Structure 1
Amino acid sequence: MTFDHNPRILFLYGSLRDRSYSRLLAEEAARIIAAFGAEVRFFDPHELPIYGSVPDTHPKVQELRELSIWSEGQVWSSPELHGQISAVMKNQIDWIPLSLGAVRPTQGRTLAVMQVSGGSQSFNAVNTLRILGRWMRMFTIPNQSSVAKAYEQFHDDGTMKDSSYHDRVIDVMEELYKFTILLRGQADELCDRYSERKQKGVQESMSDIGRMVNNVNLSQM
């Protein structure tokens, strides 16, 4: 398939530690999807204020929102803390609004979710990220990555060791790349909603939909 630019993928990670395993997982995934042909960018959550504590004009808030608008797909990588995503991860998502005037920074974009755990494998964080992705009107791909005992899965240089976990990360990035390509140019049509057309005063809404409903004969089904 030909296109005028490579798929644009934004990576968010959920830890500020020097050796952040959610960041290392995101970096490994970024190397993989870049090899498929994507253009990747990262948002560094350091110095992003707590949601609501500063005006939206704060430079880090503007940087995050501009990156989200730039992206066609996103990858969210969070540690699991107390059975949930980290505050660092949630804070980033909270700063991205559903709409900025006529612009929707997340709607119609693809999303892959990943998590790292300090103990046995869990899916609490990725399940929560899926809920958030749906709320942000994103197309969350079916596959996902959950890396157990993450401290055992990375080399000293930060690259990921060969394992079934690494294979899954490749699967997830390949799937995200494909979904991003397939949905390119289709998001506006797929996200078009009757309720929003009605709210905007589109005249076809009630009459056309009403006729369609009235013409349905349930007894023939």
Structure 2
Amino acid sequence: MNDLPNIDINSLQPIDLNALGGPPQPDHKPRILMLYGSLRERSFSRFMTEEGARILEALGADVKIFNPSGLPLVDEANLDHDKVQELRELSLWSEGQVWSSPERHGAMTGVMKTQIDWLPLAPIGGVRPTQGRTLALMQVCGGSQSFNTVNQMRILGRWMRMITIPNQSSVAKAWNEFDDEGRMKPSPFYNRVVDVMEELMKFTLLTRAQSAYLTDRYSERVESREELSKRVNQSAI
């Protein structure tokens, strides 16, 4: 380490292959939280979310869908608001998430962004509500196929320290892809949704037992050591 004088040798840890192997899998089903980005009665992002939930349940997941109706804008209400607490508790419960939004004006909807904005990076009760969780992204389009929304949400997923899976779904002309009961019709678009849910399950099962190790950071270990040093080396208390 002589050529790395700026490294805190006590905080730089060798890669632990045993930790990557991880502890035994939890004995509960993978816990997946699903968020959607529209309050319309005939909401295609909700329909696609519900279709994805059916697929995930068939694959063995425990799925919960958050209804964003009644969720206030950020800073419009306190943290003790019922819908804010519900969303945060579901995020803490989850091991993976699915975000599904319409594209509006070339971007995700305000409904979708508000849900993400209520989820802090800071820990809640010592646990970050998104860090280390897997994430799958889907969008519905009113016209031709676009990837603006999934690309934006992918940036947010990285910012929220989530393990965002490579695959994603974008459904063009969504009004033509769902029947009167809100079920998705057979199509290559439907097959891609199945692909995404299947991949999410694989990544969740692969990482959920190791997520704490995978998201353990040198910079935070250094900071923790510095804070500890300040506390135990005070000249006077």
* TM-score higher than 0.5: yes
Aligned length: 203
After superposition, what is the alpha-carbon deviation per residue over 1:36-90, rounded to whole angstroms, capped at 9, x for unaligned?
0001001100000011111111110000000000000000000000000000000
Cα separation, 2, equivalents of 1:138 and 1:2: 19
Matches within 5 A, 1:164-175: 164-175=188-199
Cα separation, 1, equivalents of 2:222 and 2:211: 19
Percent identity reads: 65
Cα separation, 1, equivalents of 2:89 and 2:194: 27
Cα separation, 2, equivalents of 1:184 and 1:85: 28
What letter corresponds to residue 110 of structure 1 in structure 2? T
* Other structure's SS at 2:167 match: coil
Cα separation, 2, equivalents of 1:36 and 1:3: 16
Q: Report the alpha carbon displacement of residue 103 of structure 1 after superposing the two structures with TM.
A: 1.1
Cα separation, 1, equivalents of 2:79 and 2:138: 28
Q: Report the alpha carbon displacement of residue 185 of structure 1 after superposing the two structures with TM.
A: 1.1
Q: Which runs of 4+ in 1 moved over 4 A?
A: none
Q: Report the alpha carbon displacement of residue 102 of structure 1 after superposing the two structures with TM.
A: 1.6
Structure 1 unaligned runs (5+)?
204-221
Match of 1:181 in 2: 205
Is 1:95 the counterpart of 2:102? The answer is no
Match of 1:74 in 2: 97
Q: 1:45 aligns with which of 46, 53, 68?
A: 68
Over the aligned positions, Cα root-mean-square deviation in angstroms equals: 1.3
Match of 1:219 in 2: none
Cα separation, 2, equivalents of 1:3 and 1:168: 28
Contact 2:26 2:209 in 1 (8 A): no
* Other structure's SS at 2:68 match: coil
- The structure whose RCO (Cα within 8 Å, separation 6+) is larger is 2
